[in-house]
Chain A
């Protein structure tokens, strides 16, 4: 019913398509005015085998091999996967487990490349100048070959999105330049400095999916970025159906589902993708990477990273090679002592807290924040009772009821939590942000989701084991029957004079053999009978 009222209000022009909920945290965009600089080459680069959503890659190189920048060093396994490329020229010195930016602190197999300082590129991929007349399938393959993944932080393999499906035509491409996380200015600087390349990437995208129109969505706290993009648009031909839209600054405006609703009034159905409502959403950084991959033949080896935070001596925006150790990047910006500092990978709302800076910069690293420990520790460890104030529900962009969900997850009522739409939570953190009782709501949801996932896995493994066990019992039973039948037929044809005695003996043996396998066979027989 509320949906009906909301739609009615919108149709009467009483409200724009703003998404429900959201919060207004302090922006802290201290690095917005700082032009990007190249990060110097680190002596060693560490490339994990999985920097994307999907299957991990497998190494193509061995220890001792010499590699060039842009050379494929790990191949993708499975469909949802993109390859890994060397960020600079050098020698492979190790292939072993190394920590990645992950809350568990666990590691995955990684390739260590010692830079040789020459930074020679492998120019094996030809630039495709005439992409306008190139088959989109080829361009899609180029996107996959170049290891493109969503650079807004989701790292979903881009080539999978760039598909033309006649059942779900793409009406509109949305370029996501919102960047609603506090502190982060990565996309902001990209739009100011590489507006033209971003637009080229957009044009390639529109050609690939045969989209009619596009919107470049920017939050209204970045008016200069909007101006830059508009300026670049006006200097281009053939992009009349592209416009820049400024949206009110509100977190999480940049969340794909909320952004699509705000721009088009369409909700992406639960469990489905934006393409099912005719929209393709792409981060501005990914669009630029697509241009570099197609028009310049450059695989993904570098990305823009915002280094900021209230404990950062020298904030900045750096163009960092993928695989650069985070410790090296921090040191370049003046931070070497991590005693009184907390490191965040990403923004404060959805980023991961890192136990130490000895992890590499990966494809999803849109920001590295150093925050003062004093203002950081223990906000949510002082959890108090929920007073049911409802602020969390007001803030939730998915219109869930976070306080009820958290209570269900905490007391292991997972069925109830699922029915209250636990899996529709986007883990944006708006609820925890507003909670006056300091309840770590998102943490409870993550616990719940993890337990449910684990239970599903165990259940499907148990079911598979049961099937195997049943099949085995049936096979053994079958073999016994075949053997018994053969034995009795042999006796019938070759029966000696004292046949009855031998047969009786054979029967006794058969019965005792059946008794050996015990209740299992009996139970399965019963089961088989029941099934019939």
Chain B
């Protein structure tokens, strides 16, 4: 008995596996930079996060009675890699595991698995970690690109001790090995009345360093160049469309340009905003997560604009130095509404045509 199959009887060969794998490949430049900056620590963080995500998903699938072949769709591995890249280098091993568990369980499986989550899983985990452990999540290790790196992160045993036992085991004080991130520094200085330009100069901030990724921050978000390369790769492979990154980045740039020209003491320049913090990573890899972003092209532009407005506003007016992850999660809430109201113009409903036809 032939099962009733409808046309089309041909398929283009696309698969979820390949799409996720493409994103993992696109993150390789950023991962490479993270290893350059933070040595074995970055490697350990990435491996532990990826493994924890896969293990958690396996447990969840088993509990839900689903087949373990679902693991092969690479989505858990991608979540692990993305989560690792958003974490500060000094995050202890257990926090990485907890974050991974949150990302998979509360970020994805609880909604019904891949395709049903409202929020970006990696970002929701990062926000949970930030709110639960604010100190560790805002402590930035001085990278190996610094003039005098305080810890040799290319030494595996040092990193193992740091990762599993913490800096106390190495008899290192946090002040000695950490520094402020550019965004954090500018915000702290501003609360003390120091204008932006001065704050940047006493930080010895260099736009070139920020572009190449030699400043500190979360292990994967520092290098604009690496992330741009990854983003262009994604666009070329048609994994993402230009709408979200373009509208997100343009909105931030325009707002920053507008306000910094009005009050340059309070508001940083567009280039600073675009290079700083997790904006590049969010614009190309987080906001573009297909499941939690709109499906329609105009909807995607609206989404990107919303993310841009929120990111810039939180950075300029909010209490947190970095607003990218919050803004993406906030816009995720609005996605079903955006999808409903910003549907494309359907063929045959051109309002210009006379109705008495």
Residues of A at the B interface (CB closer than 8 Å) are 1-3, 6, 20, 23, 25, 103, 168, 182, 257-258, 261, 267-272, 276, 342, 344, 348-353, 355, 371, 376, 379-381, 384-391, 393-394, 397-401, 403-404, 420-421, 424, 427-430, 432-438, 440, 442-443, 446
CB distance from A208 to the nearest CB of B (A): 22
> Which A residues are CB-close (under 8 A) to B14?
391, 434-436
Q: Which of B3-11, B47-55, B82-90 contacts A (4 or more CB under 8 A)?
A: B3-11
Q: B202 at interface (Cβ–Cβ under 8 A)?
A: no
> Which A residues are CB-close (under 8 A) to B349?
269-270, 421
Q: Which of B140-148, B169-177, B308-316, B337-345 contacts A (4 or more CB under 8 A)?
A: B337-345
Q: B135 at interface (Cβ–Cβ under 8 A)?
A: no
CB distance from B226 to the nearest CB of A (A): 24
> Which B residues are CB-close (under 8 A) to A446?
6
CB-contacts of B1-24 with A (<8 A): 2-12, 14-16, 18-19
Q: Considering only CB atoms, which chain A residue lies closest to B113 in the complex?
A: A385
Bound Cα distance from A388 to B343, whole angstroms:
14
Q: Considering only CB atoms, which chain B residue lies closest to A26 in the complex?
A: B10
In the complex, the answer to whether B344 meets A381 with C-beta atoms within 8 Å is: no
In the complex, the answer to whether B7 meets A429 with C-beta atoms within 8 Å is: yes
Bound Cα distance from A270 to B355, whole angstroms:
11
Q: B264 at interface (Cβ–Cβ under 8 A)?
A: no
Bound Cα distance from A435 to B15, whole angstroms:
8
- Indicate whether A3 sits within 8 Å of B295 (C-beta atoms), given known contacts A355-B2, A387-B115: no
Q: Considering only CB atoms, which chain A residue lies closest to B292 in the complex?
A: A388
Bound Cα distance from A434 to B14, whole angstroms:
6
The proximity string for B residues 15-36 relative to A, scoring 1 for CB distances below 8 Å and 0 otherwise, is: 1101100000000000000000
Residues of B at the A interface (CB closer than 8 Å) are 2-12, 14-16, 18-19, 73, 112-116, 238, 241, 290-291, 293, 295-298, 300, 339, 343-350, 353, 357
In the complex, the answer to whether B8 meets A432 with C-beta atoms within 8 Å is: yes
In the complex, the answer to whether B8 meets A442 with C-beta atoms within 8 Å is: yes
Bound Cα distance from A353 to B115, whole angstroms:
30
11 extra interface residue pairs, beta carbon distance < 8 Å, beyond A182-B10, A440-B6, A442-B8: A3-B350, A25-B12, A269-B348, A276-B357, A353-B9, A355-B2, A387-B19, A390-B300, A391-B238, A437-B16, A438-B15
In the complex, the answer to whether B9 meets A267 with C-beta atoms within 8 Å is: no
Bound Cα distance from A430 to B10, whole angstroms:
10
In the complex, the answer to whether B7 meets A349 with C-beta atoms within 8 Å is: yes
Bound Cα distance from A168 to B112, whole angstroms:
53
CB distance from B354 to the nearest CB of A (A): 9
- Indicate whether A268 sits within 8 Å of B15 (C-beta atoms), given known contacts A388-B295, A427-B7: no
In the complex, the answer to whether A436 meets B9 with C-beta atoms within 8 Å is: no
Task: Report 25 cross-chain contacts, Cβ distance below 8 Å, ordered by A residue.
Answer: A2-B345, A20-B344, A182-B10, A261-B347, A267-B347, A353-B5, A353-B9, A379-B9, A387-B16, A387-B291, A389-B290, A390-B297, A390-B300, A393-B297, A397-B347, A398-B347, A399-B347, A400-B344, A400-B346, A404-B295, A432-B8, A433-B12, A436-B15, A436-B19, A443-B6
- Candidate in A267, A388, A401, A403 with the most chain B CB atoms within 10 angstroms: A388
In the complex, the answer to whether A432 meets B295 with C-beta atoms within 8 Å is: no
Q: Say whether chain B's binding surface is mostly helix, strand, loop, or mixed.
A: loop
In the complex, the answer to whether B5 meets A436 with C-beta atoms within 8 Å is: no
Bound Cα distance from A440 to B114, whole angstroms:
18
In the complex, the answer to whether A348 meets B343 with C-beta atoms within 8 Å is: no
- Candidate in B8, B16, B353 with the most chain A CB atoms within 10 angstroms: B8
> Which B residues are CB-close (under 8 A) to A380?
5, 11
CB distance from A370 to the nearest CB of B (A): 12
CB distance from A153 to the nearest CB of B (A): 12
Bound Cα distance from A424 to B11, whole angstroms:
22
In the complex, the answer to whether B2 meets A403 with C-beta atoms within 8 Å is: no
Partner of B295, one of A348, A379, A393: A393
Partner of A2, one of B12, B115, B297: B297
CB distance from B300 to the nearest CB of A (A): 8
Bound Cα distance from A432 to B238, whole angstroms:
17
Partner of B348, one of A257, A355, A401, A440: A257
In the complex, the answer to whether B10 meets A433 with C-beta atoms within 8 Å is: yes
Bound Cα distance from A429 to B296, whole angstroms:
19
Partner of B346, one of A342, A388, A399: A399
Bound Cα distance from A399 to B73, whole angstroms:
28
- Candidate in B296, B348, B350 with the most chain A CB atoms within 10 angstroms: B348
In the complex, the answer to whether B295 meets A434 with C-beta atoms within 8 Å is: no
- Candidate in A20, A267, A371, A430 with the most chain B CB atoms within 10 angstroms: A267
Bound Cα distance from A393 to B346, whole angstroms:
11
Bound Cα distance from A455 to B115, whole angstroms:
31
In the complex, the answer to whether A384 meets B73 with C-beta atoms within 8 Å is: yes
- Candidate in B10, B112, B116, B298 with the most chain A CB atoms within 10 angstroms: B10
In the complex, the answer to whether A350 meets B7 with C-beta atoms within 8 Å is: yes
Partner of A432, one of B11, B345, B347: B11
> Which A residues are CB-close (under 8 A) to B6?
103, 440, 442-443, 446
Partner of B9, one of A6, A348, A398: A348
- Indicate whether A3 sits within 8 Å of B113 (C-beta atoms), given known contacts A350-B8, A387-B16, A404-B295: no
Bound Cα distance from A270 to B4, whole angstroms:
30
Bound Cα distance from A447 to B73, whole angstroms:
28
In the complex, the answer to whether B295 meets A399 with C-beta atoms within 8 Å is: no
Bound Cα distance from A342 to B290, whole angstroms:
35
CB distance from B42 to the nearest CB of A (A): 28
Partner of A424, one of B73, B116, B347: B347
In the complex, the answer to whether B7 meets A442 with C-beta atoms within 8 Å is: yes
- Indicate whether A390 sits within 8 Å of B296 (C-beta atoms), given known contacts A381-B3, A385-B113: yes
Partner of B344, one of A258, A388, A401: A401
CB distance from A409 to the nearest CB of B (A): 12
> Which A residues are CB-close (under 8 A) to B8?
348-350, 428-430, 432-433, 442
> Which B residues are CB-close (under 8 A) to A393?
295-297, 344
Q: Considering only CB atoms, which chain A residue lies closest to B8 in the complex?
A: A429
Partner of A353, one of B7, B291, B343: B7
- Candidate in A350, A381, A437 with the most chain B CB atoms within 10 angstroms: A437
> Which A residues are CB-close (under 8 A) to B298?
1-2
> Which B residues are CB-close (under 8 A) to A397?
347
CB distance from A4 to the nearest CB of B (A): 9
- Candidate in B4, B19, B297, B344 with the most chain A CB atoms within 10 angstroms: B344
Bound Cα distance from A388 to B6, whole angstroms:
22
In the complex, the answer to whether B296 meets A401 with C-beta atoms within 8 Å is: yes
4 closest Cβ contacts across the A-B interface? A429-B8, A385-B115, A270-B348, A443-B6
CB distance from A158 to the nearest CB of B (A): 23
In the complex, the answer to whether B7 meets A420 with C-beta atoms within 8 Å is: no
CB distance from B336 to the nearest CB of A (A): 10
Bound Cα distance from A355 to B5, whole angstroms:
10
In the complex, the answer to whether A388 meets B345 with C-beta atoms within 8 Å is: no
CB distance from A280 to the nearest CB of B (A): 16
CB distance from B23 to the nearest CB of A (A): 11
In the complex, the answer to whether A436 meets B348 with C-beta atoms within 8 Å is: no
Bound Cα distance from A394 to B350, whole angstroms:
19
Bound Cα distance from A394 to B116, whole angstroms:
21
CB distance from B74 to the nearest CB of A (A): 12
Q: Considering only CB atoms, which chain A residue lies closest to B295 in the complex?
A: A390
> Which A residues are CB-close (under 8 A) to B238?
391
> Which B residues are CB-close (under 8 A) to A348?
7-10
- Indicate whether A388 sits within 8 Å of B5 (C-beta atoms), given known contacts A23-B12, A269-B353, A436-B16: no
> Which B residues are CB-close (under 8 A) to A443?
5-6
> Which A residues are CB-close (under 8 A) to B344?
2, 20, 393, 399-401
- Candidate in A23, A182, A269 with the most chain B CB atoms within 10 angstroms: A269
CB distance from A74 to the nearest CB of B (A): 29
> Which B residues are CB-close (under 8 A) to A403?
295
